[in-house]
């Protein structure tokens, strides 16, 4: 029941996006034209590096109904602390996953409000190996999957157990089958995190050390950093957005068709993404041209996540 409701909300969200985007496209709303954007420095004031991300709660006071709708979507629930409320999985004594290639077993459980994954090996009735790790985050809204991560002094690793919602069962994560189980050592880097979350804080040049791990994709991933917009609106500097563009924030509806697609393609790309020279996974902002940041090479088989 809960998930039907979620899907309905998600569908409505997409529908609203599509309809408004299309009407914007065909009905000639105030819109940036593509040639104007080319080469010219951006007019969007939040493309400036000094403008900071402020998080979704900062938008709530003035855009409450969008906030309430968005947080129910899959994207709004893409990443969070591992809480009982966040987890879509079932738990119990019979939910044990056996990795026959490594002769290891896995068992997910709660102790009060903390989730753990136990790895163990049996020799007859004796337990000859046992390792228990705390789960800090759940990645995936649970519409399809929940995967699990731990935070060791800011270093993020994936844990070797995933909940598959459609099948209603636990199993090894994608890519861990057939003897490829890397157990607790798969580093989750910026590439991964910057597609599944709000903009994280990352320790430069590290493989997987984060200074800030947000709680799910948020408004600013599609609208750009909001610091300046919030400051201007609080100060009462209001733009008539029916006839003009508020350049303190990006409304995708008012972008060229190509730049609209780029907003979504930043994360919904099919193929292998390779960063351009000197570019970073945190550099792209909505309203910019994605191909200035990332080259995309196609796979022969569809594969969103490496």
Nearer to ligand HEC, 74 or 160 (CB): 74
The number of residues that bind ligand HEC (CB under 6 A) is: 64
Options 43-51, 100-108, 189-197, 205-213: segment touching ligand HEC (CB under 6 A): 189-197
Task: Output the smallest distance, CB 194 to ligand HEC, in A.
Answer: 7
- In terms of CB distance, is 131 or 268 closer to ligand HEC? 268
Token pair recorded at residue 36: 């104007």
251 near ligand HEC, rule: CB under 6 A? yes
Distances (CA, A) of 295 to 159, 270, 271, 292, 298: 30, 11, 10, 8, 10
Among 70, 107, 157, 202, binds ligand HEC (CB under 6 A): 70
Whole-angstrom CA distances from 180 to 183, 185, 248 are: 9, 12, 47
Q: What is the CB neighbour count within 10 angstroms for residue 53?
A: 23
> What residues between 254 and 273 interact with ligand HEC by CB under 6 A?
254, 263-264, 266-269, 273
Rounded least distance, CB 219 to ligand HEC, Å: 3
> Distance between CA atoms of 129 and 59, rounded to whole angstroms?
49
Residues 6+ apart with CB under 8 A from 237: none
Measured between alpha carbons, how far is 147 from 3 in angstroms, rounded to an integer? 18
Backbone angles phi, psi at 170, to 5 degrees: -85, 145
- Under the criterion CB under 6 A, does residue 299 sit at the interface with ligand HEC? no
Least spacing, CB of residue 30 vs ligand HEC, in Å: 8
* Residue entry with tokens 């906030």: 67
CB 140 within 8 A of CB 147: yes
- Binding of ligand HEC at residue 87 (CB under 6 A)? no
Asked whether position 145 contacts ligand HEC by CB under 6 A, the answer is: yes
Q: Around Cβ 21, how many Cβ atoms within 10 Å? A: 17
The residues of the shown chain that bind ligand HEC, judged by CB under 6 A, are: 10, 14, 16-17, 20-21, 54, 56, 58-59, 61-63, 66-67, 70, 73-75, 78, 139-141, 143-145, 147, 158, 191-192, 195-196, 217-223, 226, 229-230, 233-234, 238-239, 241, 245-246, 249, 251-254, 263-264, 266-269, 273, 304-306
């Amino acid at each position: 029941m809960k998930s039907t409701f979620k899907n309905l909300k998600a569908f409505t969200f997409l529908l609203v996006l599509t309809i408004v985007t299309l009407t914007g496209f065909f009905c000639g709303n105030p819109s940036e034209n593509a040639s104007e954007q080319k080469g010219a420095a951006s007019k969007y004031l939040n493309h400036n590096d000094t403008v900071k991300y402020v998080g979704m709660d900062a938008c709530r006071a003035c855009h409450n109904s969008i906030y309430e709708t968005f947080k129910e979507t899959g994207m709004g629930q893409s990443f969070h602390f591992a809480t009982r409320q966040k987890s879509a999985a079932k738990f119990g004594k019979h939910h044990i996953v056996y990795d026959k290639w490594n002769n290891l077993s896995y068992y997910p459980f709660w102790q009060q409000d903390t989730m753990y994954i136990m790895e163990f090996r049996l020799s007859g009735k004796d337990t000859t190996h046992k390792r228990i790790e705390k789960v800090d985050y759940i990645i995936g809204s649970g519409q399809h999957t929940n995967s699990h991560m731990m935070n060791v002094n800011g270093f993020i690793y994936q844990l070797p157990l995933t909940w598959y919602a459609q099948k209603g069962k636990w199993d090894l994560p994608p890519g861990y089958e057939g003897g490829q189980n890397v157990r607790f050592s798969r580093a989750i880097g910026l590439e991964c995190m910057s597609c599944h979350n709000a903009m994280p804080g990352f320790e430069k040049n590290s493989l997987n050390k984060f200074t800030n791990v947000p709680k799910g994709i948020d408004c600013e991933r599609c609208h750009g950093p909001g610091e300046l917009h919030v400051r201007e609106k609080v100060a009462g500097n209001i733009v008539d957005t029916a006839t003009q563009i508020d350049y303190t924030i990006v409304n995708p509806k008012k972008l060229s068709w190509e730049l609209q697609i780029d907003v979504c393609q930043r994360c919904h790309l099919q193929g292998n993404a390779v960063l351009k020279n000197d570019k970073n996974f945190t550099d792209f902002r909505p309203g910019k041209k994605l191909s200035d940041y990332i080259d995309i090479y196609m796979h022969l088989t569809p594969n969103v996540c490496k």
